[in-house]
C-alpha cells in the first residue's frame, strides 16, 4: 500500500472530454461483438470482445458479479395527470440477506429517490398492476426523509405476492441517467447479464453485458474457470465526484455476498481476473475483511468503511493475501457462517496495491468518477492513453459501450 493520502487526490486530474456522440445509447445487436481494448505491460491493442479468451492466461479464474437488475423505477400517475417516480435504491431495514427482502409479502420499506416529490400531497400514492391475470393494488407512503433520499413504505393487496413479483410488474428497468430515452423491449434483456440470478441491483454490472454463451463455451475450452460473487450495485455508481478532493466525497455503501467455497477458490488460484469494477471491489474487500478478522478475531461483524484500508494499523501488518483470506474463513467458521454478507465502501484510488485481482474487464467510465479512479489505480497514468486511443478509434463509451481488458501495472 502506498503511503499516499487518497483524500488529497484532486478529481480534476481525472477528467477528459467525452463527446455526446461517443456515449452508446443502445446495445449492439450481439453482446460479444463489442470492441475490446487490451492494455498489457504498457502496450495498447484492440480486438473484438468475442476473442477475449485469446488474451486470458490459461488456468486463470474469472470472477463475475451475479447480481440481477430489478425494475427499480416505479411511476405513479396522479388524478391530476402529473407523474411521480419512485426510484428504489436499497432496503431501509437491517437485513441478513437480500433474498429475504425480495421475498417479503404484504409490505416492505425501501430507501428511495423521488422524482416530483413536491407534487406528492396525499398520504398514499396508488397504482393498479397486473400479475397472473389478476389486479394488484400497490400503495406507497413516505415514512421518513433522509439527507439524500426518502424512506418509502410499499404495501399491496392481495398480500400473498412477494416484493420481487410486485416490482417486476410495477417498475421499469433503470437505465442510467445519461441514456436519455425511454426503455425499450430489448433493454429488459440486454441491460441484464446472461448469468445474473440474484435480484438486487439498481444498475447493471455492465462489464458482464458483453459475455455470451459462446464466450462461456470458449472459456471452458481454454481451461479458464469461473466464480461468482454478489455485489448489489447502487445508484451511487453514477454519482459524480463534486468535491474538489476525495476526502470530501462520500463513497456509496453496497451489499456484498460471497460464500466460503468461492473464497477457497480464490485462495487456490494465482491469476484472478475481475469482470467489472463491482467484482473487483468485492474481492479486494475480502482481503481487507480478512485483515480485520485477524486483528480483531472477536469482532461480532465485519464491514469495510471508506477510509478503513488507509488506517496505519491495517497497512503495517502487511498480511499476505492467503493469510488474510484464511483468516476470514476462520472468522466465518467461528461464527457458524458459510458466507460473508456485509457492506463495503471500498474506495480504490491511484496508489492502491491490488491484493487479489491481476486484471479487470471493464467498460469506459464517466469523467471525474470513482470508477475512473479505480481504472487509474489499475494501469497508472496510462489510463489517459487508453481513453485517448478509444476516443480516436471510435470506441463506444459507458454502460452500453465497448470494453477494456486491463492488466494491472506491476
Q: pTM of the entire structure? A: 0.94
At 376 the pLDDT is: 96
Task: Count CB neighbours of 195 within 10 A.
Answer: 16
C-alpha cell at 210: 458483453
Task: Give the Cα separation of 304 and 308 in Å (integer).
Answer: 6
Task: Determine what percent of the chain is predicted with pLDDT higher than 70.
Answer: 97
* pLDDT tens digits for range 291-314: 999 999 999 999 999 989 988 778
The crossing angle, in degrees rounded to 10, of helices 321-334 and 277-295 is: 70
Task: Give the Cα separation of 57 and 211 in Å (integer).
Answer: 17
At 354 the pLDDT is: 96
What's the rounded mean pLDDT across residues 120-128? 93
What's the rounded mean pLDDT across residues 126-132? 94
Q: Which of 271, 279, 288 is nearest to 232 (CA)?
A: 279
For cell 456522440, what's the residue?
21
Residue 134 banded pLDDT, cuts 50, 70, 90: very high
Residue 3 banded pLDDT, cuts 50, 70, 90: very low
What's the rounded mean pLDDT across residues 166-182? 94
Tell me the pLDDT of the chain averaged across its residues.
Answer: 93
At 98 the pLDDT is: 81
At 251 the pLDDT is: 80
Look at residue 389 and tell me whether its pLDDT is greater than 90: yes
- The CA-atom distances, in angstroms, between 267 and each of 244, 249, 263 are 38, 33, 6
What's the rounded mean pLDDT across residues 332-351? 95
- Which of 29-33, 145-149, 339-343, 354-358 is least confident? 145-149
At 313 the pLDDT is: 78
Look at residue 21 and tell me whether its pLDDT is greater than 80: yes
At 310 the pLDDT is: 85
Look at residue 285 and tell me whether its pLDDT is greater than 80: yes
At 257 the pLDDT is: 97
Q: Which residues pair with 38 in a beta bridge?
A: 45, 405
Q: Which of 149-187 are b and which e, b meaning 16 or more Cβ less than 10 Å from the residue's Cβ?
A: bbbbbbbbeeeebbbbbbbbebbbbbbbeebeeeeeeeb
Answer yes or no: are the C-beta atoms of 237 and 371 closer than 8 Å: yes
- The CA-atom distances, in angstroms, between 247 and each of 280, 303, 373, 384 are 22, 20, 14, 23
Q: Which residues pair with 87 in a beta bridge?
A: 73, 113
10 against 164, higher pLDDT: 164
Answer yes or no: are the C-beta atoms of 70 and 239 closer than 8 Å: no
C-alpha cell at 278: 463491482
Domains and CATH numbers, the chain: 6-68+191-407 (3.40.1780.10), 72-172 (no CATH)
Q: Which of 16-43 are b and which e, b meaning 16 or more Cβ less than 10 Å from the residue's Cβ?
A: eebeeebbbbebbeebbebbbbbbeeee
At 317 the pLDDT is: 78
At 2 the pLDDT is: 45
For cell 480483531, what's the residue?
296
* pLDDT tens digits for range 191-248: 999 999 999 999 999 999 999 999 999 999 999 999 999 999 987 665 667 777 777 7
Residue 1 banded pLDDT, cuts 50, 70, 90: very low
What's the rounded mean pLDDT across residues 51-78? 96
What's the rounded mean pLDDT across residues 250-278? 94
What's the rounded mean pLDDT across residues 256-281? 97
Look at residue 409 and tell me whether its pLDDT is greater than 60: yes
Amino acid at each position: 500500500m502506498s503511503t499516499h493520502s487518497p483524500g488529497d487526490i484532486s478529481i480534476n486530474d481525472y477528467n477528459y472530454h467525452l463527446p455526446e456522440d461517443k456515449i452508446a445509447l443502445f446495445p449492439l445487436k450481439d453482446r460479444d461483438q463489442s470492441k475490446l481494448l487490451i492494455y498489457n505491460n504498457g502496450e495498447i491493442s484492440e480486438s473484438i470482445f468475442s476473442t477475449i479468451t485469446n488474451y486470458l492466461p490459461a488456468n486463470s479464474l474469472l470472477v463475475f458479479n451475479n447480481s440481477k437488475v430489478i425494475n427499480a423505477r416505479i411511476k405513479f400517475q396522479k388524478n391530476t395527470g402529473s407523474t411521480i417516480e419512485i426510484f428504489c435504491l436499497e432496503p431501509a431495514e437491517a437485513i441478513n440477506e437480500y433474498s429475504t427482502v425480495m421475498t417479503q409479502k404484504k409490505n416492505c420499506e425501501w430507501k428511495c429517490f423521488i422524482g416530483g416529490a413536491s407534487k406528492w400531497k396525499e398520504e398514499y400514492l396508488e397504482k393498479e398492476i397486473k400479475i397472473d391475470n389478476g389486479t394488484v393494488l400497490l400503495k406507497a407512503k413516505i415514512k421518513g426523509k433522509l439527507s439524500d433520499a426518502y424512506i418509502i413504505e410499499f404495501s399491496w393487496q392481495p398480500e400473498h405476492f412477494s416484493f420481487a413479483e410486485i416490482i417486476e410488474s410495477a417498475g421499469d428497468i433503470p437505465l442510467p441517467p445519461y441514456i436519455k430515452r425511454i426503455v425499450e423491449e430489448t433493454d429488459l434483456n440486454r441491460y441484464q447479464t446472461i448469468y445474473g440470478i440474484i435480484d438486487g441491483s439498481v444498475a447493471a454490472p455492465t462489464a458482464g453485458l458483453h459475455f455470451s454463451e459462446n464466450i462461456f463455451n470458449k472459456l471452458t475450452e481454454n481451461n479458464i474457470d469461473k466464480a461468482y460473487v454478489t455485489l448489489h450495485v447502487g445508484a451511487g455508481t453514477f454519482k459524480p465526484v463534486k468535491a474538489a478532493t476525495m476526502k470530501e466525497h462520500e463513497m456509496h455503501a453496497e451489499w456484498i455476498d460471497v460464500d466460503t467455497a468461492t473464497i477457497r477458490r480464490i485462495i487456490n488460484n494465482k491469476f484472478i481476473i475481475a469482470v467489472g469494477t463491482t467484482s473487483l471491489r468485492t474481492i479486494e474487500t475480502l482481503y481487507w475483511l480478512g485483515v480485520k478478522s485477524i486483528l480483531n478475531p472477536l469482532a461480532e461483524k465485519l464491514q469495510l468503511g471508506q477510509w478503513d484500508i488507509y488506517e496505519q494499523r491495517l497497512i503495517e501488518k502487511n498480511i499476505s493475501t492467503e493469510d488474510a483470506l484464511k483468516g476470514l474463513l476462520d472468522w466465518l467458521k467461528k461464527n457458524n457462517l458459510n458466507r460473508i454478507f456485509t457492506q463495503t465502501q471500498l474506495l480504490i484510488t491511484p496508489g492502491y496495491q491490488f491484493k487479489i485481482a491481476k486484471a479487470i474487464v471493464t467498460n469506459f467510465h464517466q469523467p471525474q468518477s470513482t470508477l475512473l479512479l479505480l481504472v487509474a489505480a489499475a494501469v497508472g497514468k496510462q489510463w489517459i492513453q487508453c481513453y485517448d486511443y478509444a476516443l480516436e478509434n471510435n470506441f463506444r463509451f459507458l454502460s452500453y459501450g465497448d470494453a477494456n481488458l486491463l492488466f494491472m501495472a506491476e
